[in-house]
């Protein structure tokens, strides 16, 4: 057999083996579900945009922006933290601490979501009247915020399902929210409820998804002999509580900043340029998010793996994996997103109507940010898994301040198109800098302990290592 034939045979054997790898299977399953969910969400958005028109669709974007901004600002979104610790507790067989971590995650998310509901109910009227000049929309803000408490159960539930490798089950639940939302949007619009109907549809969809995921995660924990998560005790976390509190604190700040970065431009556009431009930016941002769904799927599968391997001290092998994931996973998807950009001018008018043609350039610009981000799909998860959340959050702070400051100037001169350009430049530079820092210095940490307990406990039980 010739050398060329041997090379081809070896390539085919390796390709077949890689396709059978559980990691590839899990990513494929989640990716398929993500894009089906994206299709359903896109249909719901297109249906609402066509039925409402640019002005009312802009009002929908503005009404939901304030509650979402407060939820981002006041919640911790515990999924990143709980996944990191649950992966380690599961690997070490620490059942009591695993239950305690679940209870902590659920309790924090639920408590803060309820607090957001109260704040929106008390202040929504002022925002609607003074900022938006839409005084009759305050009750819709409160109604939308009422879905946050049940929806907040999603984070820790996703962490549980990911840690126990229930990716197919997780993939199925990804379809519930957009599928139910699409159905309800169609029903309410056909019934003539307009903007209010679209908001109620989105609220019911995300609330149902949160409750369903919580029930599924509870069942998985019970099947593994862990009982019910609410029977756990936070005190079981013992000497880890200070470290976990620091993680939650940094994550709270990071989530708040990301919420400002995502929602503040919509509110600023609504105040300075009107609901139509706010709706245009919201549409462009939503389509950019659809483009990054594969990034979310790959990240969800690799995050528990990164956390477990970091806990085992496999620093050099992690660096090799990051390079391999970038070249074999991120690069092809990034190129695919870039190749989709020339198709958008033909696609957008067909899906959303000719009236949304002004959005095309903004979508094309923001799709570049999605392509850069998916190239290094692992970067956020690496910083969390390695305990470098402090460095990550400081970088998020700098990026948020720069983007919002430049964005305010750009909005006044170039509207939503200028904001799209500023967001893309900021996100691309942020991703490239942090990914480069990771690939060059993968083993450095900035504050998180490598051990399961603090320094005093480590000196007493130096052999008992988890993080």
Residue with tokens 């949304």: 356
- pLDDT, one tens digit for every residue, the chain (467 residues): 444 444 344 433 443 444 444 555 666 777 677 778 878 888 898 899 989 988 899 889 889 989 988 887 777 767 778 888 888 788 777 888 888 888 888 998 999 999 999 999 999 899 888 888 888 889 999 999 999 999 999 989 988 998 888 888 888 888 888 899 999 999 999 999 999 999 999 999 999 999 999 999 999 998 888 888 888 888 888 777 777 788 888 888 888 888 889 888 998 998 889 889 988 998 899 888 876 667 777 777 777 778 777 877 777 778 888 888 898 888 998 998 999 999 999 988 888 888 888 999 999 999 999 999 999 998 988 888 888 888 899 999 999 999 999 999 999 999 999 999 999 999 999 999 999 888 775 544 444 444 434 333 333 333 333 32
What is the pLDDT, as a whole number, of residue 421? Answer: 96
Give the gyration radius of the chain's Cα atoms: 23
Whether 30 contacts 162, CB under 8 Å: no
Half-sphere exposure at residue 187, Cβ-oriented, CA atoms within 13 angstroms: 11
Counting other chains too, the contacts that 168-175 makes at CB distance below 8 Å and 24 or more residues apart are 168/29, 169/216, 169/220, 170/30, 170/33, 170/300, 171/29, 171/30, 171/32, 171/33, 171/34, 172/33, 173/209, 173/212, 173/213, 173/216, 174/30, 174/33, 174/34, 174/37, 175/33, 175/36, 175/37, 175/40
Predicted pLDDT at 270? 87
Q: Write down the pLDDT at residue 328.
A: 86
What's the rounded Cα separation, in Å, for the pair 385 and 308? 8
Place of tokens 């699409």: 182
pLDDT of residue 211: 95
Predicted confidence at residue 456, as pLDDT, reads 31
d(CA 324, CA 322): 5
Provide CB contacts within 8 A for 358, sequence distance 6+. Answer: 280
pLDDT of amino acid 253: 86
pLDDT at 25: 63
For residue 84, the model assigns a pLDDT of: 80
**What predicted TM-score, i.e. pTM, was given to this entire model?**
0.69
- pLDDT at residue number 118: 95
Which residues are within 8 A (CB) of 105 and not within 5 positions of it... i.e. 6 or more apart?
A: 78, 79, 81, 82, 155, 156, 159
């Amino acid at each position: 057999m010739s050398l060329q034939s041997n090379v081809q045979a070896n390539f085919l054997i390796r390709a077949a083996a890689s396709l059978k790898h559980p990691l590839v299977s899990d990513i494929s399953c989640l990716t398929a579900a993500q894009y089906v969910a994206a299709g359903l969400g896109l249909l719901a958005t297109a249906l609402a945009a066509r039925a409402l028109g640019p002005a009312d669709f802009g009002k929908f974007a503005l009404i939901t922006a304030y509650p979402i901004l407060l939820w981002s600002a006041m919640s911790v979104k515990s999924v990143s933290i709980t996944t990191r610790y649950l992966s380690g507790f599961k690997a070490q067989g620490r059942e009591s601490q695993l239950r305690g971590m679940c209870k902590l995650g659920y309790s924090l998310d639920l408590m803060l979501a309820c607090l957001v509901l109260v704040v929106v109910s008390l202040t929504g009227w002022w925002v609607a009247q003074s900022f938006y000049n839409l005084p009759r929309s305050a009750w819709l803000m409160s109604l939308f915020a009422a879905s946050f408490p049940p929806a907040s159960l999603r984070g820790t539930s996703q962490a549980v399902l990911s840690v126990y490798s229930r990716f197919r089950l997780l993939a199925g639940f990804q379809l519930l929210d957009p599928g139910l939302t699409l159905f309800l949007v169609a029903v309410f619009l056909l019934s003539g409820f307009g903007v209010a109907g679209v908001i109620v549809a989105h609220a019911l969809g995300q609330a149902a998804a949160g409750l369903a995921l919580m029930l599924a995660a509870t069942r998985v924990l019970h099947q593994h002999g862990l009982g019910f998560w609410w029977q756990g005790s936070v005190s079981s976390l013992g000497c880890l509580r200070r470290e976990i509190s620091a993680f939650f604190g940094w994550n709270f700040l990071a989530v708040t900043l990301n919420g400002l970065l995502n929602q503040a431009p919509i509110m600023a556009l609504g105040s300075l340029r009107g609901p139509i431009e706010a709706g245009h930016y919201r549409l462009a941002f939503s389509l950019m998010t659809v483009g990054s769904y594969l990034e979310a799927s790959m990240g969800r599968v690799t995050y528990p793996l990164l956390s477990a391997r970091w806990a085992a001290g496999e620093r050099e092998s992690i660096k090799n994996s990051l390079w391999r994931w970038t070249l074999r996973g991120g690069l092809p998807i990034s190129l695919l997103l870039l190749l989709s950009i020339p198709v958008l001018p033909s696609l957008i008018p067909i899906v959303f109507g000719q009236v949304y043609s002004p959005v095309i350039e903004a979508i094309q610009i923001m799709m570049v940010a999605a392509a850069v981000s998916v190239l290094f799909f692992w970067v956020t998860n690496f910083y969390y898994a390695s305990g470098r959340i402090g460095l990550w959050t400081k970088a998020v702070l700098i990026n948020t301040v720069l983007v919002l400051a430049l964005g305010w100037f750009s909005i006044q001169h170039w509207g939503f198109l200028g904001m799209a350009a500023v967001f893309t430049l900021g996100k691309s530079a942020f991703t490239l800098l942090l990914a480069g820092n990771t690939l060059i210095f993968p083993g450095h940490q900035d504050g998180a302990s490598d051990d399961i307990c603090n320094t005093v406990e480590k000196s007493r039980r130096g052999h008992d290592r988890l993080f």
